[in-house]
Amino acid sequence: MSNVGKCYDNARIESWFATLKKEKLYQINTMDLTKEEVKTIIWRYVNYYNRHRVTTVNPGGWPPVVYRLKTAHRGKAA
């Protein structure tokens, strides 16, 4: 990721993992699940996060995939 003493790259991914844990993993008892079940839960959350979850980071509150599609479409039209 980043060089020694530069934590800029890690901050975003650490924030994302904190969100994953707060919104999904801390709400279920993962100790009773198999590794494959936990992987499936995480995969579904990532899909939900990227395609359906409303966000305040970009204008309009679009999910990341929708925002990328809309901005890519605008870039081609210009």
Half-sphere exposure of 75 (CA within 13 A, CB side): 6
Q: Which two tokens stand for residue 10?
A: 């890690």
CA dihedral (31, 34, 40, 44) in degrees, to 10, reads: -20
For 17-64, the pLDDT digits (tens) are: 998 999 999 999 989 999 999 999 999 999 888 888 877 777 888 888
pTM: 0.66
Q: Which pLDDT score, from 0 to 100, does residue 7 have? A: 64
Q: Which pLDDT score, from 0 to 100, does residue 78 have? A: 45
CA dihedral (68, 73, 76, 78) in degrees, to 10, reads: -110
Higher pLDDT, 66 or 4: 66
